[in-house]
């Protein structure tokens, strides 16, 4: 039988925190268990057992509401150290099958198992082995999606939860048919703003997008997004799991002592991270072409988002501008546990490789030069008087 070019698994533990509690406390088994803040406290649900989900309880819901929905639910406080230990055990299981593991959060990961097929069998066989391995070693269940790429694997792992195994047909026509009825919000990169734009065009399912006129889509979303979405709606996704070893990057992150919801406080911390990263870039003589935002919510789910910079930069102003754009787009009204800022695609020159020569004379370039001078002056002052001697106006108000 012909082997497909790539095989990815997405492994997602079922109601992870709640399942760990039920495993460790047999008296909780079969009961609606809510992990998170107690019902009489301000705070939210970090995880709900499947018994609790039947009452409409889900993570990020205020505990108070959860209690209203299911008065006899058992509230258990977070035992993060324990969940982390179990998580490490599970990640080690993954690594015994393939070195290409990309954790998405404490309880889920992508595995590129393409190179492991000759050892462990095809994607489905390997998914069953991993599920059994996890069950035997941890007494927990996982749902797995098997697919030719990451986007489809992640969709698939969710299709037969809990304790499910879903193999996406490795066939273009069947893939498009499977995606067609799904709501457009299930597609990667479709946030609230994009969803609204698409809805205004009459696109509510992935199938609607498959049939939509590409040129009209380009006018509304711009060429880059339109191209990406037109591929994704057909199940095409070329991303790879890198080992990361040769990827140069500079980043910095902070874990808050308490989960933070105050936007100003989050922004102030984030701006300080950006300035530190920018200073490190300048010191190392690098310019960044990509910036990254990392956010971890109080329930431990983590997102990483990135965007490209038109002209490679290492000055505070540009990095703050681009960084804040990312933050504004992705910050939600949810408590934040960790925030990070990073840069990659580092170059030793700030001259864009792909742009035309006449761009160097544009006002954009003049502004760019001015920003570089300002940042170098700021570095000189910091060097002399210490890092906190220089803050931008916005930090002070
Ligand atoms: Mg999960």
| Domains observed in the chain | 1-169 (3.30.70.270), 174-232 (1.10.150.20), 249-396 (3.30.1490.100)
Average pLDDT score over the chain = 86
What distance in angstroms lies between residue 20's CA and the mean position of ligand 1's atoms? Answer: 12
pLDDT in tens, 114-142: 988 888 889 999 999 999 999 999 999 99
Annotated binding-site residue? 364: no
State how far the alpha carbon of 284 is from the alpha carbons of 128, 279, 382, in Å.
47, 9, 16
DSSP letter at 27 equals G
In this predicted structure, what is the pLDDT of residue 233?
A: 96
Residue 3: pLDDT band with limits 50, 70, 90:
low
Per-residue burial over 347-363, b if 16 or more Cβ lie within 10 Å, else e, is eeebebeeeeeeeeeee
What distance in angstroms lies between residue 108's CA and the mean position of ligand 1's atoms? Answer: 6
What is the spatial distance between Cα 57 and Cα 96, in angstroms, rounded to a whole number? 35
pLDDT in tens, 299-325: 888 898 988 887 889 999 999 999 999
pTM of the model: 0.63
Whole-number percent of the chain with pLDDT over 90: 60
In this predicted structure, what is the pLDDT of residue 263?
A: 94
Tokens 């698994």, located at residue: 9
In this predicted structure, what is the pLDDT of residue 242?
A: 60
So which residues are the catalytic ones?
Answer: 108
Q: Which residue has the higher pLDDT, 238 or 354?
A: 238
Most confident of 1-5, 31-35, 281-285: 31-35
What distance in angstroms lies between residue 280's CA and the mean position of ligand 1's atoms? Answer: 36
Residues with CB under 5 A from ligand 1 (ion): 12-13, 16, 107
**Helix, strand or coil, per DSSP, at residue 256:** strand
Cis peptide before 162 (omega within 30 of 0): yes
Residue 327: pLDDT band with limits 50, 70, 90:
very high
pLDDT in tens, 204-229: 999 999 999 999 999 988 888 888 89
In this predicted structure, what is the pLDDT of residue 117?
A: 87
Annotated binding-site residue? 12: yes
């Amino acid at each position: 039988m012909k082997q497909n070019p790539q095989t990815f698994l997405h492994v997602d533990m079922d109601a992870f925190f709640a399942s760990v509690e039920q495993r460790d406390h047999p008296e909780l088994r079969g009961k609606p268990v809510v992990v998170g803040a107690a019902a009489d406290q301000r705070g939210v649900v970090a995880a709900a057992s499947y018994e609790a989900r039947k009452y409409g309880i889900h993570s990020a819901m205020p505990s108070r509401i959860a209690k209203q929905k299911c008065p006899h639910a058992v509230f258990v406080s977070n035992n993060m150290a324990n969940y982390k230990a179990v998580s490490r055990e599970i990640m080690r299981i993954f690594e015994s099958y393939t070195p290409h593991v990309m954790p998405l959060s404490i309880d889920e990961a992508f595995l590129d198992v393409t190179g492991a097929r000759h050892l462990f069998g095809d994607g489905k066989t390997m998914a069953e082995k991993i599920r059994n391995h996890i069950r035997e070693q941890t007494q927990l269940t996982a749902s797995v999606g098997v697919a030719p790429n990451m986007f489809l694997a992640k969709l698939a792992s969710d299709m037969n939860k809990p304790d499910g195994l879903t193999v996406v047909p490795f066939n273009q026509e069947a893939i498009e048919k499977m995606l067609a009825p799904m709501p457009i919000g299930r597609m990667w990169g479709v946030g609230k703003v994009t969803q609204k734009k698409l809805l205004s065009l009459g696109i509510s399912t992935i199938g609607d997008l498959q049939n939509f006129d590409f040129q009209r889509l380009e006018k509304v979303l711009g060429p880059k997004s339109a191209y990406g979405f037109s591929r994704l709606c057909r199940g095409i996704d070329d991303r790879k799991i890198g080992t990361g070893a040769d990827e140069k990057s500079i980043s910095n992150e902070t874990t808050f002592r308490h989960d933070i919801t105050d936007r100003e406080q989050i922004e102030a911390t984030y701006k300080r991270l950006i300035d530190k990263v920018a200073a490190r870039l300048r010191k190392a003589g690098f310019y960044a072409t990509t910036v990254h935002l990392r956010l971890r919510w109080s329930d431990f789910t983590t997102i990483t988002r990135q965007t490209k910079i038109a002209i490679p930069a290492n000055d505070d102003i540009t990095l703050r501008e681009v960084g804040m754009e990312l933050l504004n787009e992705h910050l939600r009204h949810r408590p934040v546990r960790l925030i990070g800022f990073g840069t990659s695609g580092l170059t030793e020159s700030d001259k864009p490789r792909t742009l035309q020569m006449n761009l160097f004379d544009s006002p954009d370039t003049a502004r760019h030069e001015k920003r570089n001078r300002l940042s170098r002056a700021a570095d000189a002052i910091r060097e002399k008087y210490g890092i906190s001697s220089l803050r931008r106006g916005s930090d002070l108000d």
